[in-house]
Homo-oligomer: A and B are copies of this chain.
Amino acid sequence: MRELQLDLPSGRGRRAAIETALRDAIRTGRLGGGTRLPSTRTLASDLGVSRSTVVAVYEQLGAEGFVIGRHGSGTEVATVAPVVGAEDDDLLEPSPTWDFRSGEPDASAFPRRDWLRAIRQVVSDPSDRALTYPDPRGHPEVRAALADHLARTRSVGTTAAGIFVTGGFAAGLGFVADALRRTGIDHIAVEEAMLPMHRMVLRLAGLEVTVVPVDEEGIAVHALADSSARAVLVTPANHYPYGITMTAGRRADLVAWADAADGWIIEDDYDGEFRYDRRPIGALQALAPNRVVYGGTASKTLGPGLRLGWLAVPKPLRQPLLAAVNLRAGVSVIDQLALADLIQSGRLDRHVREMRRRYGRRRRAVVEALGDTVPWFAPPAGLAGLHLCVPTPSLVLEEAILARAEAADVGLLGLCNFHRAPPHRAGVTIGFSRPPAHAFDAGLERVMAVFEAATADMAS
């Protein structure tokens, strides 16, 4: 035992120190399985501690299975697999200094004071409603607040009974996919060039995924109808990443398809709150509350770190969805009630209005700068969302822009980063919402320099 080199503190910590040293020695393999340990008397004397201390240590390690007391033959080390150290692989690449990748809001604008105030409100509530196992669909108060909020801001037609609170949209999508499978649907269609992560979530749930083209009015419903899919995932308010608002005619066609196919439409309303030329266009769900699963999220209005999302679900899907969600939704009830507080106090609306003002200004700045800088730029029709999709005259130019961006430490995504379907559209998205306010102007100058240099590359 002397090789353990126990560095024992004096006084109270000695028992714990001996125990830890022995456990570590066994776990790392320094003391192999079958090794006979000294008798308690010997070890106590060696270490200068009382025998009862060593007895206690052997007893604890025995209960944990690290050592085995053999009747009449002392104590020996059990066979334990050693811990192997492993490097932590960092999944998230470091962010570029000038980050205009689409998909995130300005994190620095998170309403910290409002959120903290809401949490304090909830935690100080003398009732313990925020602290026990929750209704797996979400706290009833939050579901009621969301039903009202969605009716008011997105024209969604539902009641508290139709609302499910989830840990963000991707989590909700996974549960909906599970629920679809439980109702016998195993084939879903998606829009061309969608978020790769969402497709992965659908595949994970065991669904076959078919990609449907998108034209200037939205998803090509005739192509959808030609498939055997009985569900479709769409982004009607602002196609991601193309930035197309689905027209009223196409919305009607899509609902007619769902009725005819006895199918379901999943509406990913990821940034429907942000429309700059007019009031936001109501959700597709409003046209067919019995055919559309509406999905919204706090990721763009508050922040994705909160992992808060919600679904408005047609009645026939509620039971299957409940079975799929069960207790797995995993959304803190404190956070849920804080969200309800933000809604009911009007603070969420106020924050969204303020951010709409700021993002609208940023979007105008981007369009203006592109107009000034990029000869081939044509301003897009819609004025919505947190990113601008800039079509490029060629795939080569898209690649050139992305290469220039990387070299300049500017974060941009090209349509190559999404599931682009042939015939290939080329383009680059500018996520103007992402940089913190203080870095926006300087960042935009760098983005323009990237576009300019890449355009010059082509000309030369």
CA distance A6 to B369 in the complex (A): 46
Contacts of A460 in B (CB 8 A): none
Contact with B along A296-329 (1 / 0, CB 8 A): 0001000111111100000100000011101111
B160–A131 touching, CB < 8 Å: no
A288–B171 touching, CB < 8 Å: no
Contact with B along A17-53 (1 / 0, CB 8 A): 0000001000100000000000000000000000000
> Which one of B86, B174, B322 contacts A328 once the chains associate, using CB atoms below 8 Å?
B174
Given contacts A289-B83, A329-B330, contact A303 B123 (CB under 8 A): no
24 sample A-B contacts, Cβ–Cβ < 8 Å, listed by A number: A64-B286, A65-B248, A68-B248, A83-B289, A84-B315, A85-B159, A86-B162, A90-B140, A104-B133, A107-B131, A107-B132, A115-B123, A131-B304, A131-B305, A167-B329, A168-B327, A170-B327, A200-B326, A201-B328, A204-B323, A306-B334, A307-B330, A307-B332, A307-B333
Seen from chain A, the residues whose Cβ lies within 8 Å of a Cβ on chain B are 23, 27, 60, 62-66, 68, 78-81, 83-92, 103-104, 107-108, 110, 112, 115-116, 119-120, 123-124, 128, 130-137, 140, 143, 155, 157-162, 166-168, 170-171, 174, 178, 197, 200-201, 204, 245, 248, 251-252, 255, 278-279, 281-282, 284, 286-291, 299, 303-309, 315, 322-324, 326-335, 436
A305–B130 touching, CB < 8 Å: yes
Contacts of A309 in B (CB 8 A): 330
> Which one of B282, B299, B328 contacts A167 once the chains associate, using CB atoms below 8 Å?
B328
CA distance A63 to B326 in the complex (A): 37
CA distance A334 to B197 in the complex (A): 23
A64–B282 touching, CB < 8 Å: yes
What's the minimum C-beta distance from A155 to chain B, rounded to whole angstroms? 6
What's the minimum C-beta distance from A283 to chain B, rounded to whole angstroms? 8
> Which one of B79, B143, B255, B308 contacts A332 once the chains associate, using CB atoms below 8 Å?
B308
A104–B132 touching, CB < 8 Å: yes
A248–B62 touching, CB < 8 Å: yes
A89–B161 touching, CB < 8 Å: yes
B315–A86 touching, CB < 8 Å: yes
B135–A92 touching, CB < 8 Å: yes
A284–B116 touching, CB < 8 Å: no
What's the minimum C-beta distance from A412 to chain B, rounded to whole angstroms? 17
> Which one of B159, B178, B327 contacts A197 once the chains associate, using CB atoms below 8 Å?
B327
Given contacts A170-B327, A287-B78, A332-B308, contact A124 B110 (CB under 8 A): no
Contacts of A170 in B (CB 8 A): 326-328, 330
Contacts of A248 in B (CB 8 A): 62-65, 68, 78
A286–B27 touching, CB < 8 Å: yes
CA distance A166 to B167 in the complex (A): 11
CA distance A174 to B325 in the complex (A): 10
A81, A103, A107, A162: most-surrounded residue (chain B CB, <10 A): A81
A330–B166 touching, CB < 8 Å: yes
Contacts of A436 in B (CB 8 A): 128
Contacts of A304 in B (CB 8 A): 131-134
CA distance A284 to B178 in the complex (A): 33
